[in-house]
Amino acid sequence: MKVTLRNIADATGFSISTVSRALRGEGRISEEHRHKILAKAHDMGYELPTGRRNIPTNQPPYIAIITQFETGEFYSSFFEGFAKAAIHKKIQVSLFSVSDDYNQVDTLINNLRALGYSAAVIFVPELKEKQYRRILHAIPKDFPVISCSNINNPVLDTVTFDAYRGASLVAEHFYKQGFNRLGIIEGPQEKPEARFRTNGFVDLTKHNSDSEIIWSYTGDYTHESGIQAYQNFKTQKVHPRAVFAANDAMAFGFMESARADGWQFPDDLAIAGYDNLPFCHYHYPQLTSVNTNYTLLAQNTLDNLLSRLGRPVSHQGIVSLVPISLTIRHSSMIKGDSKDQKPVQRNKPVFAEKITD
C-alpha cells in the first residue's frame, strides 16, 4: 500500500501540512522535527520528491565532492585524484566544504540536487553514525551518494582505503629490515581510520614473536603533534629502532625535531609515514610511506556512482576497500642486516641511551 502524508502524520504526531513542508524542505520547521519526520518517512518507505531541475541530455554528470577541506597536501592530493579521474570519465566534479557545520551536509545535498548535480561523494571524517543516518533519511533514492570515510558501522555504501593492511605493510617492512624494537605515533583514536592504522601495525608486530612496541604517542595528524611526539620520545630511557607515524605530517614534524638534536635517519632511527604525499619524495631523507592512490580511489568511487545513475538505489552499508602499497625510501632502508648496525657518533647530546636491534 502506498504511503501517504496522512500515514506519516499519524505516525509522527505532526500535522499533514508540517509533514509536507518537512518533506519538501520548505517553510519554517525546526531541524529536529524535520529529521524526525524524514526518518519516519524513510522507515515507512515513502519516496521523497525529486525536486531537481531538468538536466539537458547532452550535459555530462555533475558530481559534488563534499569534504571538510583544509589547507595542506592531503586534501589537495585527494581532490586532484578526483579531478584526474573525472577527466578520464568525461564528467564534471566540484568541491564543496562543510568545515563550519557538519550537520548541514543533508541540506547542502538537497540544494545541489536542485541545481542539477547528479550525485555526491562525502569525505568528512568527522561525521558520526547519527549524522550519516540523517543524510540517508534526507536524500531521495534517485540521488546516488557514496562515502569515502570509514566509520564503525557504515550507513552509506563506502569506498575507502584498506587502512589496516597499509599499516601492517609497515610492520612487515620493519621486520624484514631486522628492526624488532618499534614505536608508533598514532592518529586521533576517535577517528576509525586512525584505529585501523594502529591495529594493523600492532597486530602484525604481535604476530612476529621477536618484535615489540616499546613506545607510543597519540597525535592529531598535524605537523605540530609530530614535534610533540618527538619531545615525548626523547624523554624515554629506551628508544625504539624504528617508528611508524600514522600520517606523513606527523612523520615530518618528528623527523625535523629529531634531526635538530642530532639523530640521523635511518642510521640511528628508521621511520615510515602514511599517505605518501608528494613531499615524501622531496623531503630529506626521502620518507617511506604507505601509498594511497587517490586517483584509483576516485575511479572506483565514480564508477560506483555512475552505475547508480537513473535508478533508485538503497544503501546497505557495503564497504569496498581500495588496495594500497608501501613506497620504500631512504628513511627506513638499511642495507644488510640492521642488527649489525652501530649508532652514529654525534656531537649533540643524546637524551637517553638508544638500543639498536
- Which range has the worst mean pLDDT, 27-36, 324-333, 345-354? 345-354
If one compares 263 and 46, the residue with the highest pLDDT of the two is 263
Cβ proximity of 109 and 143 under 8 Å: yes
For the full predicted model, state whether its pTM sits above 0.85. Answer: no
pLDDT of residue 155 exceeding 60, the answer is: yes
Detail the DSSP E strand segments found in the chain. 62-67, 92-97, 119-123, 145-147, 158-161, 181-186, 212-218, 242-245, 270-275, 288-291, 319-322, 325-327
Give the separation between CA 299 and CA 164, rounded to whole angstroms.
Answer: 21
The total of other beta-carbon atoms located within 10 Å of residue 243's CB is 33
Instruction: Identify whether residues 68 and 117 lie together within a single domain.
Output: yes
Per-residue pLDDT, averaged over 158-175, amounts to 96
Cell numbers at residue 126, please? 568527522
Q: Is residue 54 part of a domain?
A: no
Instruction: Identify whether residues 167 and 107 lie together within a single domain.
Output: no
What is the per-residue pLDDT for 342?
A: 35
Q: What residues contact 190, with CB distance under 8 A and at least 6 apart?
A: none
Query: Three-state SS string across 239-256, please?
Result: ECCEEEECCHHHHHHHHH
pLDDT of residue 302 exceeding 70, the answer is: yes
Instruction: Identify whether residues 212 and 336 lie together within a single domain.
Output: yes
Question: Rounded to the nearest 5 degrees, what angle is found at the Cα of 67, between the Cα atoms of 64 and 68?
Answer: 150
pLDDT of residue 352 exceeding 80, the answer is: no
What is the per-residue pLDDT for 98?
A: 87
Query: Three-state SS string across 196-260, please?
Result: HHHHHHHHHHHHCCCCEEEEEEECCCCHHHHHHHHHHHCCCCCECCEEEECCHHHHHHHHHHHHH
Please compute Rg for the chain using Cα positions: 24
Helix (H) or strand (E) holding 37: helix 31-44
Average pLDDT value over all residues in the chain: 85
Q: Is residue 202 part of a domain?
A: yes
Q: Is residue 270 part of a domain?
A: yes
Give the separation between CA 149 and CA 41, rounded to whole angstroms.
Answer: 26
Which band of pLDDT confidence, cut at 50, 70 and 90, is reported for residue 336?
very low
User: 305-321 pLDDT, tens per residue?
Assistant: 999 988 877 788 889 99
What is the per-residue pLDDT for 353?
A: 39
Instruction: Identify whether residues 230 and 330 lie together within a single domain.
Output: yes
User: 72-97 pLDDT, tens per residue?
Assistant: 788 889 999 999 999 999 999 999 98
Instruction: Identify whether residues 194 and 278 lie together within a single domain.
Output: yes
Instruction: Identify whether residues 237 and 333 lie together within a single domain.
Output: yes
Nearest to 150 by CA among 140, 139, 136, 164: 164
Q: Is residue 130 part of a domain?
A: yes
If one compares 115 and 356, the residue with the highest pLDDT of the two is 115
Instruction: Identify whether residues 187 and 202 lie together within a single domain.
Output: yes
Q: Is residue 356 part of a domain?
A: no
Give the separation between CA 212 and CA 169, rounded to whole angstroms.
Answer: 16
Cβ proximity of 241 and 270 under 8 Å: yes
Cell numbers at residue 204, please? 602484525
Q: Is residue 349 part of a domain?
A: no
- Which range has the worst mean pLDDT, 38-42, 55-59, 251-255, 259-263? 55-59
If one compares 350 and 142, the residue with the highest pLDDT of the two is 142
pLDDT of residue 347 exceeding 70, the answer is: no
Instruction: Identify whether residues 336 and 208 lie together within a single domain.
Output: yes
Domain assignment of residue 143, given as a range:
62-162+294-321
The share of the chain scoring above pLDDT 70, in percent, equals 87
Give the separation between CA 229 and CA 250, rounded to whole angstroms.
Answer: 8
Give the separation between CA 116 and CA 309, rounded to whole angstroms.
Answer: 13
Q: Is residue 248 part of a domain?
A: yes
Q: What is the number of domains present in the chain?
A: 3
- Which range has the worst mean pLDDT, 30-34, 202-206, 242-246, 281-285? 30-34
CATH code at 317?
Answer: 3.40.50.2300
Give the separation between CA 330 and CA 95, rounded to whole angstroms.
Answer: 35
Cβ proximity of 193 and 187 under 8 Å: yes
What is the per-residue pLDDT for 357?
A: 39
- Which range has the worst mean pLDDT, 48-52, 128-132, 170-174? 48-52
Instruction: Identify whether residues 192 and 129 lie together within a single domain.
Output: no
Which band of pLDDT confidence, cut at 50, 70 and 90, is reported for residue 339?
very low
Q: Is residue 351 part of a domain?
A: no
| Beta-bridge mates of residue 236 | none
Instruction: Identify whether residues 313 and 331 lie together within a single domain.
Output: no
Nearest to 214 by CA among 235, 244, 239, 193: 239
Instruction: Identify whether residues 18 and 82 lie together within a single domain.
Output: no
Which band of pLDDT confidence, cut at 50, 70 and 90, is reported for residue 57?
low
What is the per-residue pLDDT for 16?
A: 78
> In this structure, what are the phi and psi dihedrals at residue 192, rounded to the nearest 5 degrees?
-55, -40
Which band of pLDDT confidence, cut at 50, 70 and 90, is reported for residue 113?
confident
If one compares 52 and 139, the residue with the highest pLDDT of the two is 139
pLDDT of residue 337 exceeding 50, the answer is: no
Instruction: Identify whether residues 259 and 174 lie together within a single domain.
Output: yes
